[in-house]
Chain A
Amino acid sequence: MAIQETARTPDKASVLNDPKVRGWIYQIVVVALIVWFGWEIITNTAENLKARNIAGGFGFLNINAGFGITQSLITYSELSSYGRALVVGLLNTLLVAGLGVFFATIFGFLIGVARLSNNWLISRIATVYVEVLRNIPLLLQIFFWYFAVLRAVPNPRDSIALPGDVFLNNRGLFTPRVIFEEGSGLIGWSVLAAIVVWIGIYFWARRRQEATGQQFPVFLSGLGLLIVLPILAWLVTGMPLSLETPELRGFNFVGGTRIIPEFVGLLLALSAYTAAFIAEIVRAGIMAVSHGQTEAAHALGLRNGPTLRLVIIPQALRVIIPPLTSQYLNLTKNSSLAVAIAYPDLVSVGGTVLNQTGQAVEVIGIWMAVYLSISVLTSMFMNWYNSHIALVER
């Protein structure tokens, strides 16, 4: 019997069946498609812009804006440029996002812990809070806080007076303002000094504990410093601070700080909404730490507080941090919903600029660049923090 040995020869196989060749063909096709797509878009856009008589470029940023902005952290007037208006918008975005992150984290942790509470009533209330808030669109919640709650409060003449000379009316929230008179610089420096000393105490106490095992009340002493030092400075410099309380004059309040209702509504809605998501993340994180850890900590004689603080939370944080980061980013991106209630954030101001100048491509490009940078910076920081606390495997 002759065995046919020529049945399979490798050189007969087609080149197309080589995975590497196929891979390159696919990639060349993808690149060609993208290039064609990009070329189409660019040429079409250029043609359309020419047809509409819109000049490209960022030159418009130096032109007078000519519109007012209701809240700005830097000096801004109608004579300022479009560029400055966008900066004002960006700062407003950062302000509401920063405060939103702060409040949402606090509420979220509280509610997440409450959901795990042994108290039946507390855990049920927390569950209802989470299930209601996270299943209703954020925009609806913003509208509710802004139109149904803050717009419905009385006019300045019948303001709702809150404790501490705070007044709420349909023009906004009026709070007393601290006025820094001459010589108050020392107070600022004393706050700084207190923080520096606090950090110093923290490292010193840690070294001492590692060496001798003795603990030192770092938090309480630091807090004491932070309160005592500025008060001392205040007394020494002759009490240069004064409070300016808002007063009703005519039809509106004069003096104090006015917080516009758009800001209050947006902040409330963003914090309450994101807190529901953070609560779920915190709950999952704490549940991911096995019960044996708690039992072991108790067996070592740790009380409930230190168990939570020294054993459970540090381990839970590893699970919590990555999704928490994306919630922070979501909150920042969601702050762009401000445009619906005309809070002057980046998108809202940018929308006005877009309408006035018609520079759609540039304005949208600025938006995208800003939000992408915020995303990248935040995730870089959180990745650094995450690697800092990540489990070191040996």
Chain B
Amino acid sequence: MTDISYVRKEMAPSQPAPASTVGPVAWARKNLFASIPDTILTLVSLWLIWLLVPPLIEFAFVNAVWSGENREACIGQDGACWAYVKAYLPQFIYGRYPDPERWRVNLTFLLFFGGLIPMMIPSVPFKRENVIYMLVVFPTVALVLLTGGNMDFNGFLLPDTVIAPSMLKFWVDYAILTAIVMAAAAGIAKASQSRAAPAAISVLVIFGVLAAIMVVLEIDFGLRPVPTELWGGLLVTLVIAVTGIAVSLPLGVALALGRRSKMPIVRLVSIIFIEFWRGVPLITVLFMSSVMLPLFVPENLTIDKLLRALIGVALFAAAYMAEVIRGGLQAIPKGQYEGAQALGLTYWQMMYHIILPQALKLVIPGIVNTFIGLFKDTTLVLIIGLFDLLGQVQSSFTDPNWSSPYQSHTGYLFAATIFWIFCFGMSRYSVWTERRLDTGHKKR
């Protein structure tokens, strides 16, 4: 018997994985050619890609015409006519906005993205100031910049015989209105045994901010007024989309809360409002706002065409938003409501501090989907004669200067790319936010 034994001191070096399980060949065998039907599918997909992708690249890049003065450059070429897009680019962005005034649009875009980008990056400080800027300062400045400001306000309260309609009358009326609302707020506060002063002061602050905005709007900055008929292109698309988003979110929250309210009449009104707008197509809403809205208001009041479309789009989007938010409200466990009430919070405190933050976080994907839908739906305004980006592209086809066989393909490709970038960007941002806000309570 020999006492030789051998005990290994270190781990045996690990063998490389079998050649059939690693590397591109194994990957292809697993993911592309796993079985005979799989192989057939792969070949069919390859054929599809071969059918679509090379011609598209050839059309958009290889055979494309990049520069030229008019249609001569593009005729006879078998590719996209980018020269036409280049020539029409200012129209696609500004519409018929007068040339020397276009810096105002550019400045508005700059101010918008300058406020939006820091707001979208979570690590940038001053979020509260940023929100105030986006919701109060920017809209005012943008309105002045885009329309030219210098608006006229006429009175609305006192009969014309007391003071002739003028700027003075407006401010007198406004002061009276402020006083009435302040008195009402103070009275209600007093009757319900809380202090009257804070209620009156908060009313005064709100009216003061509104007054400041209106003062800015009526100052003559010497900007040439640009009527909205001249607006067009991406400008109109963004104006409608951004206003629609900004109006529909708070309105949607209000409607969703109304629909879940315990007050029967409020609930009924909310349900009817939501279901009505959700049941009809946006086109009929736009027709209604463009044809019927002028009938609804007194004859001497004319509402701007763009504003009419804005009202229609915002109400329409608000109904969809309300349903999305209601889904979030329903997903919050009852214990959260009961806990908040047990702490003695009022209804609004409970909603603002406890329920809405959780509910809105839950439905971020739905909210962003509504935004994306709204952004895509802005194209419909071309049917009622407004020229958004697609409307401008469509109307440019009538220009004989640039008419060529592939003009429409090029125009649609350009518009589709722009819309796609915006929508896809929004959806990616929502996925990212969802992941960032995920506190791990979700069921996996």
* Bound form: Cα–Cα A48–B379 in Å: 30
A135/B427 in contact, CB under 8 A? yes
From the candidates A40, A48, A137, A138, name the one contacting B299 in the complex (CB within 8 A): A48
* Bound form: Cα–Cα A44–B294 in Å: 9
Binds A, one of B3-11, B38-46, B120-128: B38-46
Q: Which residues of A contact B31 (CB under 8 A)?
A: 118-121
From the candidates B38, B281, B298, name the one contacting A118 in the complex (CB within 8 A): B38
Binds A, one of B66-74, B87-95, B169-177, B409-417: B409-417
Name the CB-closest residue of B to A135.
B423
A139/B390 in contact, CB under 8 A? yes
Q: Which residues of B contact A340 (CB under 8 A)?
A: 382-383
Q: Does B209 contact A (CB under 8 A)?
A: no
The DSSP consensus for interface residues of chain A is: helix
If A125-B49, A364-B292 touch, whether A347 touches B284 (CB-CB below 8 Å) is yes
Name the CB-closest residue of A to B421.
A135
Within 8 A of B (CB), among A94-138: 117-122, 125, 131-132, 134-138
If A44-B298, A45-B296, A347-B281 touch, whether A139 touches B409 (CB-CB below 8 Å) is no
From the candidates A13, A23, A121, A371, name the one contacting B284 in the complex (CB within 8 A): A371
Q: Does A220 contact B (CB under 8 A)?
A: no
A121/B419 in contact, CB under 8 A? no
Q: Does A47 contact B (CB under 8 A)?
A: yes
Q: Which residues of B contact A354 (CB under 8 A)?
A: 287, 291
Q: Does B111 contact A (CB under 8 A)?
A: no
* Bound form: Cα–Cα A23–B266 in Å: 9
Q: Which residues of A contact B298 (CB under 8 A)?
A: 44, 47
Q: Which residues of A contact B45 (CB under 8 A)?
A: 119, 121-122, 125
From the candidates A31, A45, A143, A367, name the one contacting B295 in the complex (CB within 8 A): A45
B281/A364 in contact, CB under 8 A? no
Q: Which residues of A contact B405 (CB under 8 A)?
A: 152
Q: Does A351 contact B (CB under 8 A)?
A: yes
Q: Does A147 contact B (CB under 8 A)?
A: yes
Within 8 A of A (CB), among B294-346: 294-299
Name the CB-closest residue of A to B409.
A148
* Bound form: Cα–Cα A222–B380 in Å: 46
Q: Which residues of A contact B377 (CB under 8 A)?
A: 137
From the candidates A14, A51, A360, A372, name the one contacting B280 in the complex (CB within 8 A): A372
Q: Does A308 contact B (CB under 8 A)?
A: no
A147/B408 in contact, CB under 8 A? yes
Q: Which residues of A contact B299 (CB under 8 A)?
A: 44, 47-48, 51
From the candidates A121, A131, A375, name the one contacting B42 in the complex (CB within 8 A): A121
* Bound form: Cα–Cα A132–B294 in Å: 39
Q: Does B262 contact A (CB under 8 A)?
A: yes
Q: Does A49 contact B (CB under 8 A)?
A: yes
Name the CB-closest residue of B to A16.
B192
B49/A14 in contact, CB under 8 A? no
* Bound form: Cα–Cα A368–B278 in Å: 11
If A148-B409, A360-B292, A371-B279 touch, whether A135 touches B265 (CB-CB below 8 Å) is no
Q: Which residues of A contact B264 (CB under 8 A)?
A: 27
B32/A337 in contact, CB under 8 A? no
Q: Does A334 contact B (CB under 8 A)?
A: yes
Q: State how many angstroms separate the Cβ of A295 from the closest Cβ of chain B.
A: 18
Name the CB-closest residue of A to B287.
A364
* Bound form: Cα–Cα A147–B415 in Å: 14
* Bound form: Cα–Cα A31–B291 in Å: 27
From the candidates A134, A139, A351, name the one contacting B287 in the complex (CB within 8 A): A351
* Bound form: Cα–Cα A121–B49 in Å: 10
Q: Which residues of A contact B282 (CB under 8 A)?
A: 333
Q: Does B439 contact A (CB under 8 A)?
A: no
B193/A360 in contact, CB under 8 A? no
Within 8 A of B (CB), among A352-371: 354, 360-361, 364, 367-368, 371
Flag B5-43 by CB within 8 Å of A: 1 or 0 each.
000000000000000000000000001101000100110
Q: Does A41 contact B (CB under 8 A)?
A: yes
A30/B269 in contact, CB under 8 A? yes
Name the CB-closest residue of B to A145.
B412
* Bound form: Cα–Cα A371–B292 in Å: 18
If A140-B415, A371-B284 touch, whether A17 touches B192 (CB-CB below 8 Å) is yes
From the candidates B32, B278, B376, B380, name the one contacting A119 in the complex (CB within 8 A): B32
Q: Does A144 contact B (CB under 8 A)?
A: yes
Q: State how many angstroms separate the Cβ of B381 from the closest Cβ of chain A.
A: 10
Q: Which residues of B contact A135 (CB under 8 A)?
A: 372, 376, 419-420, 423-424, 427
* Bound form: Cα–Cα A109–B415 in Å: 29
Within 8 A of B (CB), among A325-381: 333-334, 336-337, 339-340, 347, 351, 354, 360-361, 364, 367-368, 371-372, 375-376
Name the CB-closest residue of A to B258.
A30
Q: Does A26 contact B (CB under 8 A)?
A: yes
If A122-B41, A139-B379, A361-B295 touch, whether A375 touches B279 (CB-CB below 8 Å) is yes
Flag B336-359 by CB within 8 Å of A: 1 or 0 each.
000000000000000000000000
* Bound form: Cα–Cα A17–B190 in Å: 11
Name the CB-closest residue of B to A371.
B280
Q: Which residues of A contact B394 (CB under 8 A)?
A: 143
Q: State how many angstroms separate the Cβ of B314 from the closest Cβ of chain A.
A: 17
Name the CB-closest residue of A to B425.
A135
Q: Which residues of B contact A334 (CB under 8 A)?
A: 281
B32/A140 in contact, CB under 8 A? no
Q: Which residues of A contact B193 (CB under 8 A)?
A: 13-14, 17
* Bound form: Cα–Cα A120–B30 in Å: 9
If A120-B31, A372-B279 touch, whether A139 touches B420 (CB-CB below 8 Å) is no
Q: Which residues of A contact B415 (CB under 8 A)?
A: 140
B284/A120 in contact, CB under 8 A? no
From the candidates A26, A31, A118, A125, name the one contacting B34 in the complex (CB within 8 A): A118
Q: Which residues of A contact B48 (CB under 8 A)?
A: 125
* Bound form: Cα–Cα A117–B427 in Å: 23
Report 21 cross-chain contacts, Cβ distance below 8 Å, ordered by A residue.
A27-B266, A30-B266, A45-B292, A118-B34, A119-B38, A125-B48, A135-B427, A136-B420, A137-B378, A137-B390, A143-B390, A147-B397, A333-B280, A333-B282, A334-B281, A337-B383, A347-B284, A368-B288, A371-B279, A371-B280, A375-B278
Interface residues of B (CB under 8 A from A): 31-32, 34, 38, 41-42, 45-46, 48-49, 188, 191-193, 262-266, 269, 276, 278-284, 287-288, 291-292, 294-299, 372, 376-380, 382-383, 390, 394, 397, 405, 408-409, 412, 415-416, 419-420, 423-424, 427
17 further A-B contacts with Cβ under 8 Å, apart from A41-B296, A148-B409, are A16-B191, A16-B192, A27-B265, A44-B296, A47-B298, A47-B299, A119-B31, A119-B32, A119-B41, A135-B376, A135-B419, A135-B427, A136-B419, A139-B382, A340-B382, A371-B281, A371-B284
Interface residues of A (CB under 8 A from B): 13-14, 16-17, 23, 26-27, 30-31, 34, 40-41, 44-45, 47-49, 51, 117-122, 125, 131-132, 134-140, 143-144, 147-148, 152, 333-334, 336-337, 339-340, 347, 351, 354, 360-361, 364, 367-368, 371-372, 375-376
- Which 9 A-B residue pairs are closest in the complex by CB-CB distance? A333-B281, A135-B423, A120-B31, A137-B376, A16-B192, A375-B279, A336-B281, A27-B265, A372-B279
